Amino acid sequence: MARKVVGFDEDDLRALAGARSFERGLGCLDAVSGLEVGEGSVAAVVHGTDAYEVELTLGGEEGISGWCDCPYGREANFCKHCVAVGLTVLRRAKAIPHQQAAARARSSTLEAWLSSLSRDELLALVREQVAEDRELRRRLELRAAAARSDLGTVRDRIVALTDPRPFARYGYIEYGDASGYARQVAEAASALRALTADGQAAQAVGLAEEAIRALGEAYGEIDDSDGVVGEAVAAVAEAHVEACGVARPDPDRLAEWLVGTVLDDSNDVTDLDPLDYADVLGPSGLARTRQLTAEALRRRPSGWAERYPMERLIKAAGDVDAMVALHAQDLDPSGATHLRIAEELESAGRVDEALAWAERGLRECAAETYIDGRLVDYACARYAQTGRAADAVAVRRDRFRLERSLAAYRQLRSAARAGDCWEAERAAALATLEKDARRERGGRYGGPVLIDALLDDGDLDAAWQEAAGRADDRQWGRLADLSRETHPTWALGVYLRLVERSKEPTGDRAYEHLAGLLLAVRDCHRALGTEDAFTLFLADLRRELKRRRKLMSILDRQGL
């Protein structure tokens, strides 16, 4: 019934938040206050480490979305605070439609009232708001100046709107002030677009360029964790593109401005794309842009600011050989650049050259402990496609000898099975891992890869033989999990040892882990027919840890 009323249910909240955040949201229900219901949204405050503002959008058939200003929520996650507000809405589901209707009625009443006011009454209302709201006054002053073509005032207002100093209380703009600054920058972008619409595109071009320079210099001193300032600056850049499209400035001058701005070391935010200006630049302007970028690239071959626009220009021209030459100037020791070249060539249908570049990357990076795994995957995939299984095995073998990781072992196994030679390759690989294991010390953490490989192969007997004095707790747990049905006595001994080690840590995650181990202990006792022993063991443990109320709650929930 709740779904028909508010458009979502608990399952939707759990799907959006994940099991962990959903469970934590259950614990925040009492912290929700100030629930405010609008036509299509609800807002509230959730009190925790701080007072967090939450807004949920009720999208009807589109479902529900949420925003929260807690650190986790600012990363676009549906956090526990969103869950708590959503659950609060579900608890009040019967009242929500009435509150939404009331919100619609208030909006309708306001609209009708405004429509009924005379011109003088509306002016009085606007003047009253302008006197109380400095931000509104500035926005209206800017629009008025633009309407009167008062370019001096417009310029002064845009300069003021993009000036970070009023927000930089300690020499930089803190996170809490970034949104206010972003609103001003967005208003500057609106003013620039208005100038263009009013037939003053040439003036808008110049003012936008001034704003872009100022914003690029200021951005490095702003905590823009949410990206709101970056979005506003992008709107200014879009206003510049729009103005150029109308004013049609000189292509060479525009090219010089573009390249100079992109390569300006003080520009920390404005990622201008020369292709956005392709129509205005025309063939001559694009050629000039490419020439200037090439000159800058010769002075600093590895500079990202120089390489990015050159890549875009070359890509647009469809010049594969020029792209290969560009990448070849600065080959990354991980092989990532070799891979990019191979992909460019393959997309152009030059598959043999593409594979040759991939093989070159493998040779030139052969001694590197780290190599871009995508390059290895690329070469092996091409070998598989052309029936060169032995070459794929050789590549995977070489990487395994350098990396000695479970992932490298798995990749070697896959390639060797495809080449029908896994038995011999496995023996050699395990011998290598055995040598490593003899040099390593066992302990609770960082067990040898040898045991992981044996477990991954399903060779449990060999894994048990190697585990003593070598395996870490994670490996012991995995070994016990895989052996619970076939060797319950052995598994029980492991679990009991891990339970003892898990008594000391505290916190939800530690308690959930301990509960999982106890469930495994119970399964072993059931398989051995010794349930009474487990009952006594569990009772003793609960008495020992009875002061940990959260742990007791988790054990109760698990039926322990």
For 143, phi then psi, to 5°, come to -65, -35
Percent pLDDT > 90 in the chain is 50
For 308-317, what is each residue's pLDDT tens digit?
A: 888 888 988 8
| Distance, CA of 326 to chain centre | 29
For 498-507, what is each residue's pLDDT tens digit?
A: 999 999 888 8
Tokens of 191: 């003013």
Point out which residues pair with 173 in neighbouring strands: 222
**What residue type is assigned to position 213 of the chain?**
R
Say how many Å lie between the first and final Cα of the chain, rounded.
34
pLDDT of residue 380 exceeding 90, the answer is: yes
Q: What is the DSSP letter of 366?
A: T
Q: Is 45 strand, coil or helix?
A: strand
CB 89, CB 42: distance < 8 Å:
yes
CB 497, CB 472: distance < 8 Å:
no
- What's the angle, vertex CA 546, arms to CA 541 and CA 547, rounded to 5? 140
Q: What is the DSSP letter of 270?
A: -
CB 447, CB 474: distance < 8 Å:
yes
What is the spatial distance between Cα 409 and Cα 425, in angstroms, rounded to a whole number? 10
Confidence bin at 2 (pLDDT 50/70/90): very low
What is the spatial distance between Cα 214 and Cα 226, in angstroms, rounded to a whole number? 21
Residue 262's pLDDT is 87
What is the spatial distance between Cα 523 and Cα 162, in angstroms, rounded to a whole number? 66
Residue 95's pLDDT is 87
What is the spatial distance between Cα 379 and Cα 389, in angstroms, rounded to a whole number? 11
The length of the chain is 560
Helix 406-418 with 389-403: angle, nearest 10 deg? 160
Confidence bin at 441 (pLDDT 50/70/90): low
Residue 8's pLDDT is 85
Residue 58's pLDDT is 80
* Nearest alpha carbon to residue 133 among 180, 93, 84, 73: 180
For 514-531, what is each residue's pLDDT tens digit?
A: 999 999 999 999 999 999
Query: Which positions ≥6 away from 277 have C-beta within 8 Å?
Result: 241, 244, 254, 258, 285
Q: How many CB atoms lie within 10 A of CB 313?
A: 21
For 458-471, what is each residue's pLDDT tens digit?
A: 999 999 999 988 88
**What residue type is assigned to position 540 of the chain?**
D
CB 517, CB 498: distance < 8 Å:
yes
Q: Is 423 strand, coil or helix?
A: helix
pTM of the model: 0.60
Instruction: Say which residue the tokens 């009023």 belong to.
Output: 166
Per DSSP (E only), the strands in 364-513 are none
Confidence bin at 443 (pLDDT 50/70/90): very low
For 526-546, what is each residue's pLDDT tens digit?
A: 999 999 999 999 999 999 998
pLDDT of residue 59 exceeding 70, the answer is: no
What is the spatial distance between Cα 25 and Cα 56, in angstroms, rounded to a whole number? 14
Overall average pLDDT of the 268-276 stretch? 78
What is the spatial distance between Cα 497 and Cα 531, in angstroms, rounded to a whole number? 18
Residue 393's pLDDT is 95
For 235-258, what is each residue's pLDDT tens digit?
A: 999 999 999 999 999 999 999 999
| Distance, CA of 11 to chain centre | 24
Helix 175-197 with 151-162: angle, nearest 10 deg? 160
For 8-57, what is each residue's pLDDT tens digit?
A: 888 889 999 988 889 999 988 989 999 999 888 899 999 887 888 999 98
* Nearest alpha carbon to residue 241 among 219, 268, 209: 209
Residue 190's pLDDT is 87
